[in-house]
Amino acid sequence: MNATDATAKTIFDNAGRVTLQLENEMIRYAHTYDSPEEAAKDMCIAFQFGFDLFEDHDPDALFEVTPEQLASGQYRVFVDNDLEQAQQLSPSYGGWDSVRRFYEAVRQYNPRL
């Protein structure tokens, strides 16, 4: 798998969990994490080495967030190049500390991002 062919969706819920949804033309991988740092680590591994090696795929983590859920504040969703936008958020981001912790960890694991 070529990491540049993959797309990534990072979904934060208002309970502090992070769901990664990664896919390319052959593989879909999704997993929900309690730790933003663990999610960041796996995302960096996936884009460096591929996610076809991951064994903890959770089909229930392949879900779509509705506009209503976004509007109600249940979720925040970032896709691919939203990384820059997410990094520009204020440290508190209205209580969404998991967003800040995730992107701080991403920068720690891969400073190029």
- pLDDT-derived band at 12 (thresholds 50, 70, 90) equals very high
With a cut of 80, say whether residue 54 has pLDDT above it.
no
Cβ count near 47 (within 10 Å): 18
Pick the more confident residue, 91 or 21.
21
The alpha carbons of the chain give a radius of gyration, in whole angstroms, of 13
- Inter-CA distances, 111 with 10, 11, 77, 103, 106, Å: 18, 21, 22, 11, 7
Residue 109, pLDDT score: 83
Region 4-15: mean pLDDT is 83
Q: Is 97 helix (H, G, I), strand (E, B) or coil?
A: helix
Asked if the model's pLDDT at residue 15 lies above 60, the reply is yes
Q: What is the DSSP letter of 88?
A: T
Chain mean pLDDT for the chain: 81
Question: What pLDDT does residue 2 have?
Answer: 45
pLDDT tens sequence across 60-88: 998 999 999 999 989 988 887 666 666 56
Would you tell me how many other CB atoms lie within 10 Å of the CB of residue 50? 18
Max Cα distance, the chain (Å): 38
CA atoms within 13 A on the CB side of 7: 8
